Amino acid sequence: MSQKKPILSRRNFLLSVGAGSAATAAAVISKQAPEAAKEVASNDKRSTRGYQETAHVTNYYRTTKV
C-alpha cells in the first residue's frame, strides 16, 4: 500500500491561519461578552436622557423637507 503524504500548499496554509485567527477572535469576544452584558443590564432606562431634539437634529429635519 502506498502512503499518502499531505500536500501542504500556500493556499491551505493561509486557510488554516485564517480559520485559527477567526476562532481565536471568537473566543476572546465571547469571553468579554458577559462583562459587557452586565454593564448594560446595570443601567436603568429611566436614568438615561433619551431622545433630544438638538440644533443639529433640527437642522437635519429642516434640510430634508420637500
Instruction: In the chain, count H helices and then E strands.
Output: 2, 0
**Please, what is the end-to-end C-alpha distance for the chain in angstroms?**
79
Q: Mapping DSSP to helix (H, G, I), strand (E, B) and coil, where does residue 18 land?
A: helix
Q: What is the pTM of this model?
A: 0.37
- The one-digit pLDDT tens for each residue of the chain (66 residues) are 567 766 668 888 888 899 999 889 888 888 776 655 555 555 566 666 778 889 999 999 999 987
| Distance in angstroms (rounded) separating the CA atoms of residues 52 and 29 | 32
What does the CA dihedral 19, 23, 36, 53 come to, rounded to 10 degrees? Answer: 10
Domain boundaries, the chain: 10-41
Helix, coil or strand: residue 49: coil
pLDDT of residue 64: 92
